[in-house]
Structure 1
């Protein structure tokens, strides 16, 4: 491979946080969908404490792309190298490095390098990949900076919880209800409109209008990745209501000897600067955490109960 076919990008950001904090954020790739705007979902396939293999889904130039990466972590040097072992066209090869350097005063410089090739070195394809690398790298580094500089308060800003319902019916029918999201406006009282596209089987892109308990309406955009054989649907909201910087979640259908447990899991990063505008003067993180827990929990629990009714009524009819 000649040098003229190798394309390189470099992105840096200075962060007012300790290097170990910054390194910890890039090392924990499973949490990237919550912390990094472009990332939709990450499945860790293998990990021995140093080398790991990841299946990743992310938005690139408005499209949802997926690939498998091999990463090697070096916490002593605060360096992570990666290589896509199964890239998606037009990428032919892609590798790179994350590096965290300590700066004066205990601050950090984070550098992200990419090296890639495209099949046939077609200029349009190379420009597409370079644009995706630039847009996503800027978004990732910007959010790492924002999160690392609020590290001591991150536990207050992140909220994770789950709700569950027992179902006396087949797991397949429960999953079917959750998968057929295009039917939700007819079945779920809190969903007034839903537009769905599934250009790649199992990857759903949707825009949904929902109504909360206080009567306010919200429009959200989400990407869902469906795993029918595992009974799981994971999702990332790519456009969120005002109170949330980020929202990821999962629907899980878990059969056992006596029935099925269906779970709705949520993880949220709160947008602190929007709290008073949304909830009134004097409202703080505690109020926002309670409001989000109640609003998301109410809607997802309603969905779980309707999935339960769908599966159990089908059994009664049979």
Structure 2
């Protein structure tokens, strides 16, 4: 019997940052959506130096979800990973992050993959190889950018939340957030929506949003839905001021109703600040602007979700 074909790839990059800084970014898997463009969301369960992660990412223009086991070796600066549950057309995949130094003394990051395609299908193998090549190049470039920006990383990153109590059922609140295809009719700040859900609970949402000055901007997001209490998302197309934007809608049953919380995490693009806000603006002004703009829209959405759920409760 012919053995299944295993394919191996290696991608590498040099980084002008200490090895421990690079390793910390790789270790912080729940922070990957703010660091790596293809990564949408990660849930992790850790037991010492071993962890099981559930990850969603874009690959070849599609949204894929899989479960992996990771083993961290801090002394040797390595992180091994193996997919426990793969997503078609992948039959099996694993690999390793290896951090060291090159002959010139710069930090060298090597990203290794091995994979098999379902049925050893050549077309599927080529699809996987192209996806690995594309994602690995993006991830390594983003890793270098984040590591080399380390002194400003915390200054450029902000996380904030807004909450609202609702005298209605959590399921009705969840349904309002889930049915983003109806937001054009339900939300005054949304002028256009295009939503697709080819895989259940994995949505691609493109939306035109009106700003305070009456203009509109277009965003494109991947949303992962966990009925009936959580929807997480990442914007693949962000407004000019942001290099990354992730968020979460959390819907919890509480005494006498429901509490809905909207959380945003944003990484600012320092090169875009003066173009968007003017020559005198800096990071402080950009943080204030983003906090107000995103908070205003999410609070408006929660207010409409509240009216919707309370209207049902009052029938």
Measured after TM superposition, the shift of residue 90 of structure 1 is 1.3
Measured after TM superposition, the shift of residue 135 of structure 1 is 0.3
Measured after TM superposition, the shift of residue 4 of structure 1 is 7.8
The reply on whether 1:28 has 2:23 as its aligned counterpart is no
The reply on whether 1:12 has 2:40 as its aligned counterpart is no
Distance in 2 of aligned mates of 1:83 and 1:198: 28
Q: Does the aligned pair in 2 maintain the 1:203–1:226 contact within 8 Å?
A: yes
Structure 1, residues 122-143: CA drift from partner, whole Å, max 9, x if none?
1111100000000000000000
Distance in 1 of aligned mates of 2:259 and 2:276: 34
Counterparts of 1:155-194 in structure 2 under 5 Å? 155-194=154-193
Structure 1, residues 254-279: CA drift from partner, whole Å, max 9, x if none?
11223211000000110110111111
Distance in 1 of aligned mates of 2:87 and 2:211: 39
Secondary structure of 1:76's counterpart equals coil
Counterparts of 1:275-314 in structure 2 under 5 Å? 275-314=273-312
Measured after TM superposition, the shift of residue 104 of structure 1 is 6.9
Secondary structure of 1:5's counterpart equals coil
Partner of 1:87: 86
Q: Does the aligned pair in 1 maintain the 2:17–2:147 contact within 8 Å?
A: yes
RMSD: 1.4
Distance in 2 of aligned mates of 1:211 and 1:76: 51
Structure 1, residues 11-49: CA drift from partner, whole Å, max 9, x if none?
0010000000000001111111111000111111x2112
Measured after TM superposition, the shift of residue 118 of structure 1 is 1.0
For residue 263 of structure 1, the aligned residue among 251, 261, 264 is 261
Distance in 2 of aligned mates of 1:69 and 1:249: 23
Counterparts of 1:67-216 in structure 2 under 5 Å? 67-103=66-102, 107-216=106-215
Q: Does the aligned pair in 2 maintain the 1:19–1:106 contact within 8 Å?
A: no
Q: Does the aligned pair in 2 maintain the 1:67–1:88 contact within 8 Å?
A: yes
Distance in 1 of aligned mates of 2:96 and 2:253: 41
Measured after TM superposition, the shift of residue 216 of structure 1 is 2.4
Q: Does the aligned pair in 1 maintain the 2:15–2:147 contact within 8 Å?
A: yes
Number of residue pairs matched? Answer: 315
Measured after TM superposition, the shift of residue 84 of structure 1 is 0.4
Secondary structure of 1:152's counterpart equals coil
Structure 1, residues 242-296: CA drift from partner, whole Å, max 9, x if none?
0010100000001122321100000011011011111111211111101000000
Q: Does the aligned pair in 2 maintain the 1:17–1:106 contact within 8 Å?
A: no
Q: TM-score, normalised by structure 2?
A: 0.97
Secondary structure of 1:286's counterpart equals helix
Partner of 1:242: 240
Measured after TM superposition, the shift of residue 103 of structure 1 is 4.7
Measured after TM superposition, the shift of residue 105 of structure 1 is 7.8
Q: Does the aligned pair in 2 maintain the 1:54–1:70 contact within 8 Å?
A: yes
Secondary structure of 2:152's counterpart equals helix
Counterparts of 1:38-49 in structure 2 under 5 Å? 38-44=38-44, 46-49=45-48
Q: Does the aligned pair in 2 maintain the 1:209–1:219 contact within 8 Å?
A: yes
Q: Does the aligned pair in 2 maintain the 1:245–1:270 contact within 8 Å?
A: yes
> Gapped runs of 5+ residues in structure 1?
none
After superposing on structure 2, the runs of 4+ consecutive aligned residues of structure 1 that deviate more than 6 Å are 1-4
**Change beyond 3 A, Cα 1:66–1:284:** same
Q: TM-score, normalised by structure 1?
A: 0.96
Measured after TM superposition, the shift of residue 107 of structure 1 is 3.6
